[in-house]
């Protein structure tokens, strides 16, 4: 049990990043176990399943592929746990996007098995963390589920990731840009991080460095992704999106940006078609406004978000026709007991969050008019 003022930093056992590492996954996985449950959806399997299969088989790792059904829900985790028990799995491999990864971590924890994560996009910071975001079968945020340890292995193939739609990289950049905004707010409030303790100097430094790298390299990485090539800037942003953001949010802390994202999941309609990072982007600007961020800094975020095609207006967020009641539902969900919105140095009311959501739209429109952009 963590004492009141103990500092805590946690991380995965091994992180490996580079072009073509999926084809060399076998030796890494073999150190964790010889019987694997491999969780991946059909799209991911068509992209790189053959490479991964050949590498595992070449090292004598037997595996059963379980088709991921699309939602990181308690029902999906329980379904896959039963498959793992029948197979006597000793290592669970999560191969795919954020929800497949979060599901794999939940399955590994319940099976007391090792956990290997192979993300096929750099769209979230889920791969390295010791928690999952759990949704209902309909995609509504339910809770964070915390685990006894981080993944044993995170294997990031930039050769695969560079072929994913650039929208996913932009989403990961948005998720990662929330890292320092939220961590510094949690640290100011002396709030606990996601590991249950206070931030270490390392945890804070990683979060701050993550932001520096993204502002410096994000557009170059995005352009490389559009060209489906791996460049030094692309490698840097993939690492920032995955490793630095993952360590930074978990050992630094979350605050209002992710809480507002979670609030958005309470709504039905087209907003559900937006990615995690796209909704986090809007929540990040909302938190910057609540934190009384100076206009010049606020506009740095808006400028990059707009360049990456991220939503910073209610129309882009698919909420231009949302009612006042809808926005209050978002705010109330964001302020639920246990939500990270309480990791701020000030108390929030639903009205303040609703006004912040509207203010993002107003400031973004004003900024776009100032620089000659149309929505």
Looking at the fold, whether 218 and 297 belong to one and the same domain comes out as yes
Looking at the fold, whether 271 and 242 belong to one and the same domain comes out as yes
* pLDDT tens for each residue of 156-201: 999 999 999 999 999 999 999 999 999 999 999 999 999 999 999 9
Residue 302: per-residue pLDDT: 98
Q: Read off the pLDDT of each residue in 137-145 and give the average, rounded to a whole number.
A: 90
| 4 assigned to some structural domain | no
Looking at the fold, whether 178 and 245 belong to one and the same domain comes out as yes
Looking at the fold, whether 154 and 270 belong to one and the same domain comes out as no
Residue 3: per-residue pLDDT: 60
Which CATH number does the domain housing residue 121 bear?
3.40.50.1970
Burial code (b: 16+ CB inside 10 Å, e: under 16) for 290-316 equals bbebeeeebbebbbbbbebebbbbbeb
Look at residue 80 and tell me whether its pLDDT is greater than 70.
Answer: yes
The pLDDT-based confidence of 1 (bands split at 50, 70, 90) is low
Looking at the fold, whether 41 and 122 belong to one and the same domain comes out as yes
Q: Which of 99-108, 251-260, 268-277, 305-314 has the lowest mean pLDDT?
A: 268-277
Question: Residue 363, annotated ligand binder?
Answer: no
Q: Read off the pLDDT of each residue in 35-52 and give the average, rounded to a whole number.
A: 95
Boundary of a domain, candidates 146, 163, 180:
163
Q: Read off the pLDDT of each residue in 291-298 and give the average, rounded to a whole number.
A: 98
Question: Residue 131, annotated ligand binder?
Answer: yes
Question: Residue 129, annotated ligand binder?
Answer: yes
Boundary of a domain, candidates 163, 184, 217:
163
Looking at the fold, whether 151 and 190 belong to one and the same domain comes out as no
Burial code (b: 16+ CB inside 10 Å, e: under 16) for 185-213 equals bbbeeebbbbbebbbbeebbebbbebbeb
Question: Residue 99, annotated ligand binder?
Answer: yes
Q: Which of 206, 369, 351, 336 is nearest to 290 (CA)?
A: 351
Question: Residue 98, annotated ligand binder?
Answer: yes
The tally of domains found in the chain comes to 2
Share of the chain above pLDDT 70, in %: 99
Question: Residue 340, annotated ligand binder?
Answer: no
Boundary of a domain, candidates 163, 185, 208:
163
Looking at the fold, whether 105 and 208 belong to one and the same domain comes out as no
| 1 assigned to some structural domain | no
State which residues form the domain around 346: 166-371
The pLDDT-based confidence of 268 (bands split at 50, 70, 90) is confident
Residue 78: per-residue pLDDT: 96
The mean predicted confidence, pLDDT, of the chain is: 96
Residue 5: per-residue pLDDT: 85
pTM for the structure as a whole: 0.95
Question: Residue 135, annotated ligand binder?
Answer: yes
Looking at the fold, whether 173 and 297 belong to one and the same domain comes out as yes
Which CATH number does the domain housing residue 300 bear?
1.20.1090.10
Looking at the fold, whether 207 and 355 belong to one and the same domain comes out as yes
Rounded to a whole number, what is the distance in angstroms from the first to the last CA of the chain?
A: 50
Looking at the fold, whether 143 and 225 belong to one and the same domain comes out as no
Active site residues: 175, 258, 261, 276
């Amino acid at each position: 049990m963590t004492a009141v003022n103990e500092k805590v930093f946690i991380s995965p056992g091994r992180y490996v990043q580079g072009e073509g590492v999926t084809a060399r996954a076998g030796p890494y996985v073999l150190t964790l176990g010889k019987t694997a449950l491999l969780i991946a959806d059909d799209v991911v399997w068509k992209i790189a399943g053959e490479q991964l299969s050949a590498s595992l088989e070449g090292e004598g790792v037997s595996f059963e592929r379980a088709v991921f059904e699309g939602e990181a829900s308690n029902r999906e985790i329980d379904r896959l746990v039963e498959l793992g028990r029948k197979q006597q799995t000793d290592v669970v491999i999560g191969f795919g996007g954020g929800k497949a990864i979060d599901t794999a971590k939940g399955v590994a924890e319940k099976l007391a098995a090792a956990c290997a994560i192979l993300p096929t996009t750099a769209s979230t910071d889920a791969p390295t963390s010791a928690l999952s975001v759990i949704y209902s079968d309909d995609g509504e945020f339910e809770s964070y589920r915390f685990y006894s340890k981080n993944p044993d292995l995170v294997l990031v193939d930039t050769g695969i990731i560079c072929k994913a739609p650039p929208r996913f990289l932009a989403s990961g950049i948005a998720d990662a840009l929330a890292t320092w905004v939220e961590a510094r707010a949690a640290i100011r409030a002396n709030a606990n991080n996601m590991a249950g303790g206070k931030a270490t100097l390392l945890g804070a430094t990683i979060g701050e460095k993550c932001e520096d790298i993204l502002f410096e390299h994000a557009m170059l990485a995005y352009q490389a992704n559009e060209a489906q090539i791996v460049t030094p800037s692309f490698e840097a942003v993939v690492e920032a999106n995955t490793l630095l953001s993952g360590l930074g949010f978990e050992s630094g802390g979350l605050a209002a940006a992710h809480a507002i994202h979670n609030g958005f999941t309470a709504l039905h309609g087209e907003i559900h078609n937006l990615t995690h990072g796209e909704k986090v982007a809007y929540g990040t600007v909302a938190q910057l406004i609540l934190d009384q961020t100076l206009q010049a800094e606020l506009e740095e975020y808006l400028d990059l978000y707009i360049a990456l095609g991220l939503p910073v207006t209610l129309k882009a967020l698919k909420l231009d026709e949302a009612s006042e009641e809808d926005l209050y539902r978002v705010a109330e969900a964001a302020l639920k007991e246990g939500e990270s919105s309480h990791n701020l140095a000030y108390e929030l009311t639903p009205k303040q969050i609703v006004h912040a959501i509207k203010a993002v739209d107003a400031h973004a429109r004003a900024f776009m008019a100032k620089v000659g952009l149309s929505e």
